[in-house]
Structure 1
């Protein structure tokens, strides 16, 4: 073989056996491929000096996608100061020069300007539109200072990324799908996945529940379109579904956008908001129930117990009445066999025992953990969760309102839940007090009606006698009728005095109205007015009593009068001291046991001439002092009245 064929000598004159090189393609795709393959940033400027095309190195240098770059002006690419120099180079090439250069700086999306040598060359009209110019930027190497600045910025970003307490994931969007490229430690811990299980996977499909996948994919598209997105989302974690505030920010809008997604856990905040909404709804329901004036008390209590069970998420609710050491279930909700209406048990075997003893709300999250194992209440009812509060009526224990469960509660009762139960108990106390006051008022009104009829009847009789006798005097001038008129008027005066005594004696007394009274002196004063010489009185060391002197005297006078009227003129009365009061008894026939309650009522009398108000006056005065009155049998078989609850002084 000749040396020229192997050493690159002149080719032979005969080219008939040589194969010609393939012709270069004329399509624009070929030109694009050549320009795209260049390592330096390449620009194609249109007639108005706006960017028509840029290769991948240009997009990488400035940090913009092809779509974002297209149409940018010279000041946007090089800044106002260098834009004029680039424009002169472009104009020079359009005027016929082969090349034109300018020392300028390219403006990236982030970071400092990048110095470069910009070279403009004409673009043949056969390849692109007329008056288009190609520019090539030969980038200057980064200085040591610039390189250090970029390194520090990169390190700070990495430290921020890895050190954030919130979960952070680095992702890129490929074909509209967010593909994870990295995750910090907080992300791995929160979602229960390792970095290797995250990287390369569809982020939305990995974290979003199935029914929320479409929403997650929509947020990814919005982040690409808008550059960032914020939203409240629900994601699957190693602790189940939790609420997050998502902040997704793109830091590169190149052909493959990249960004960071930061997840801030707001589950507790959402739970607090839900708790507040539930509480407000429960309070509104409580108000509607308690404000229902047409509903009876028992119906309101039933609805309140059901509301409390729902709000506290407990199956049992019950209202109790406590009396004589026994707990009685009045109303209940739930299927516990021992917590049903009509059921009762000794108070010592109930949880309410402790509620009553400590006089404050009792809340038990887990009875076993709280040391109730072995307690009679725990053994009898098997309740592990309990919350109960006292119900007081006029300051006296009525019962309790309670809620419970056989299982332990996962969390302790909150202050709001405790307050809710206390509010329900306070309402029950108020409602029971109101009901008791209403019943008392109705009874008083009934007694008043009866009393008014009695008074009208008793006054009408002597009044008719007086009027009839007066007419006879006028007609006959017989003055013997005047004595009957006098007796009738005296009878009327007596009735009026008794009425005044009941009205005046029933008024409540304050501490300022009371003083220590010498009972012996009052007894002597009252006995002087008893004009029955045959009657006897024995005063057995009567004490000094703290009372209203006038009312106490009236009380004694009525007891003396009652004894003489029913025991006869030779009756003997005895007065003596008790531990907290005194007694008055006689040796008369006494009062049958089946009549002892009736004799204290207004209008009751065994004597046709009596007003029936004497012992009622006694009871009224006793009540006004806050004392108690008991009617029993005396030592000689007569009536014995015991007044107790008074402050006495035996000295």
Structure 2
């Protein structure tokens, strides 16, 4: 084997070249903490820490603690000395504050010294910190928008506070565009600048561009990014040099803007994260405004509905009562049956039914919050007594118990009984019985044609002389309880006291009639 000098592929120079090509920095220290070797990456970092420029040769032989005195008392010194004392490798990440930099260090000790491999991981730490900050901001944002105890305006103020802090900007507003006016609705700004309720012309603001284009406008430095906006009063008189705004869209139309601005221009443009954050907040505000305005419209409609109910219960009932009394007097004066009087009485009865049904319709939509377990037989008989039943008969399960709001259940039954008598004839039999998961109300009348069963619950639907709202009321009361209701054409004919002993299908014998089935224990 050739043992000549040229047999070895390595020498000191080639090893140095190899270490210089490493992306990691490498430092060799002897057992007296003197530099024995530094690759080029390590030399750059050490010189920066020393605040002087020196070659590798000039650094060799210098004691690390003397060359870089700021290392004293740091985790770096502590870990290096521990590695040498225990002769055990050590790996760690730490920040070297004088350089505002983070390093990933691997220290390998030996009897003759310490080898250090390290790399600058500042950017990785900065990215981690940025992600943690974004998580914090998003969590704060969620906590603000999900706090139902806070008013809409208070929640917008919370969003303005978060965004102003994150953007490093003094002023933020939610503003509404009203014709050619720009109305400040919710404001975060230094005292004496602008406040909620202030109104300016839309054309003097940067928000005019956002409203007209229906898209965001981002300008870290208005003079640099959008010089055409420097002619607006916002720039010339108010000194606004930095701006970011996004449109607030409500029901498909631009309601206004959610925007931020400052008198100091930014040296760096807004980041993609900052722009996205403002857009997310603006979209939530648009959705929240849609719900807020819808609730306000609903409240106004309910107020009008209450006024209408008052008119029905008083202004219409009173003259109707007078007409009924006069008809009774007229019938007495005529001393006998008269076809015209009978027609009047029928008309008055229909008017009473219409008023009762419409009045009920205005008041049944509210969700039932609390229920009570009641005996169906008791409620059913009370409802039966309130309906003109003639020769009709009622068959009700004496053991049936239902969790409900009793007055609403009675309304439901009255409307079903009235419907059965109107459509089934004066001698119809009505059955109220238990079925698995709920109860049924059925009759042995002619039933409801299959083609009409999908529409019977619609407001105004009537196959006879009814008001057309009775079954709509039934469905609303069922929905208010959280029940499902379905209509079939089957009357089982089994006595109600026996009907609960099997499945609903076992009791159907297709004997005609109408069957309304209510499922009161529905999985949701």
**Of residues 215, 223, 226 in structure 2, which corresponds to 1:368?**
223
Q: Tell me the equivalent position of 2:81.
A: 221
Seen in structure 2, the aligned counterparts of structure 1 residues 293 and 500 have a Cα distance that, compared at 3 Å, is same
Instruction: Classify the secondary structure of the residue corresponding to 1:404.
Output: strand
Return the offset for 1:276.
0.8
Q: Tell me the equivalent position of 2:53.
A: 194
In the aligned structure 2, how far is the partner of 1:400 from the partner of 1:271?
Answer: 32
Instruction: Classify the secondary structure of the residue corresponding to 2:269.
Output: coil
Matched residue pairs, number? Answer: 352
Does the Cα contact within 8 Å between 1:472 and 1:478 map onto a contact in 2?
no
Q: Tell me the equivalent position of 1:248.
A: 107
Q: Tell me the equivalent position of 1:163.
A: 21
Does the Cα contact within 8 Å between 2:222 and 2:230 map onto a contact in 1?
no
In the aligned structure 2, how far is the partner of 1:472 from the partner of 1:342?
Answer: 64
Seen in structure 2, the aligned counterparts of structure 1 residues 291 and 463 have a Cα distance that, compared at 3 Å, is same
In the aligned structure 2, how far is the partner of 1:205 from the partner of 1:343?
Answer: 64
The correspondence of residues 26-65 of structure 1 with structure 2, limited to 5 A, is: none
Instruction: Classify the secondary structure of the residue corresponding to 1:402.
Output: strand
Return the offset for 1:281.
0.8
Does the Cα contact within 8 Å between 2:258 and 2:282 map onto a contact in 1?
yes
Q: Tell me the equivalent position of 2:311.
A: 454
**Of residues 123, 136, 155 in structure 2, which corresponds to 1:268?**
123
Return the offset for 1:148.
4.2
Seen in structure 2, the aligned counterparts of structure 1 residues 341 and 215 have a Cα distance that, compared at 3 Å, is same
Does the Cα contact within 8 Å between 2:102 and 2:122 map onto a contact in 1?
yes
Seen in structure 2, the aligned counterparts of structure 1 residues 222 and 296 have a Cα distance that, compared at 3 Å, is same
**Of residues 210, 226, 229 in structure 2, which corresponds to 1:355?**
210
In the aligned structure 1, how far is the partner of 2:190 from the partner of 2:60?
Answer: 53
Instruction: Classify the secondary structure of the residue corresponding to 2:225.
Output: coil
In the aligned structure 2, how far is the partner of 1:382 from the partner of 1:494?
Answer: 70
TM-score (norm 2): 0.59
In the aligned structure 2, how far is the partner of 1:201 from the partner of 1:408?
Answer: 47
In the aligned structure 2, how far is the partner of 1:492 from the partner of 1:474?
Answer: 15
Return the offset for 1:324.
1.7
The correspondence of residues 374-389 of structure 1 with structure 2, limited to 5 A, is: 374-376=230-232, 377-389=234-246
Does the Cα contact within 8 Å between 1:329 and 1:342 map onto a contact in 2?
yes
Q: Which has the higher contact order (CA 8 A, sep 6+)?
A: 2
The range that moved more, 292-301 or 155-164, is 155-164
Q: Tell me the equivalent position of 2:163.
A: 308
Q: Tell me the equivalent position of 1:400.
A: 257
Instruction: Classify the secondary structure of the residue corresponding to 1:152.
Output: coil
Instruction: Classify the secondary structure of the residue corresponding to 1:194.
Output: coil
Seen in structure 2, the aligned counterparts of structure 1 residues 324 and 145 have a Cα distance that, compared at 3 Å, is farther
In the aligned structure 2, how far is the partner of 1:317 from the partner of 1:205?
Answer: 52
Seen in structure 2, the aligned counterparts of structure 1 residues 374 and 186 have a Cα distance that, compared at 3 Å, is same
Seen in structure 2, the aligned counterparts of structure 1 residues 180 and 429 have a Cα distance that, compared at 3 Å, is same
Does the Cα contact within 8 Å between 1:183 and 1:195 map onto a contact in 2?
no
Does the Cα contact within 8 Å between 1:355 and 1:389 map onto a contact in 2?
yes
Does the Cα contact within 8 Å between 2:216 and 2:244 map onto a contact in 1?
yes
Does the Cα contact within 8 Å between 1:180 and 1:203 map onto a contact in 2?
yes
Q: Tell me the equivalent position of 1:289.
A: 144
Instruction: Classify the secondary structure of the residue corresponding to 1:374.
Output: helix
Please tell me the root mean square deviation across aligned C-alpha atoms, in Å.
3.6
Return the offset for 1:451.
0.4
Instruction: Classify the secondary structure of the residue corresponding to 1:369.
Output: helix
Seen in structure 2, the aligned counterparts of structure 1 residues 151 and 171 have a Cα distance that, compared at 3 Å, is farther
In the aligned structure 2, how far is the partner of 1:416 from the partner of 1:332?
Answer: 23
The correspondence of residues 23-172 of structure 1 with structure 2, limited to 5 A, is: 145=3, 147-148=5-6, 150=8, 152=10, 154-172=12-30
Computing the radius of gyration over CA atoms, which structure comes out larger, 1 or 2? 1
In the aligned structure 2, how far is the partner of 1:172 from the partner of 1:295?
Answer: 66
Instruction: Please give the per-residue CA displacement for 1:199-255, whole angstroms capped at 9, x wherever unaligned.
Output: 444435655856x73312112113323343221122367xx41111112334x523x
Q: Tell me the equivalent position of 1:231.
A: 92
Consecutive unaligned residues in structure 1, runs of 5 or more:
1-142, 505-651
**Of residues 188, 192, 204 in structure 2, which corresponds to 1:333?**
188
Does the Cα contact within 8 Å between 1:385 and 1:404 map onto a contact in 2?
yes
The range that moved more, 414-423 or 367-376, is 367-376
Does the Cα contact within 8 Å between 2:327 and 2:345 map onto a contact in 1?
no
In the aligned structure 1, how far is the partner of 2:193 from the partner of 2:258?
Answer: 16
Does the Cα contact within 8 Å between 1:320 and 1:401 map onto a contact in 2?
yes
Does the Cα contact within 8 Å between 1:172 and 1:181 map onto a contact in 2?
yes
Consecutive unaligned residues in structure 2, runs of 5 or more:
362-524
In the aligned structure 2, how far is the partner of 1:341 from the partner of 1:208?
Answer: 56
TM-score (norm 1): 0.48
In the aligned structure 2, how far is the partner of 1:473 from the partner of 1:341?
Answer: 68
The correspondence of residues 618-629 of structure 1 with structure 2, limited to 5 A, is: none
Return the offset for 1:152.
1.2
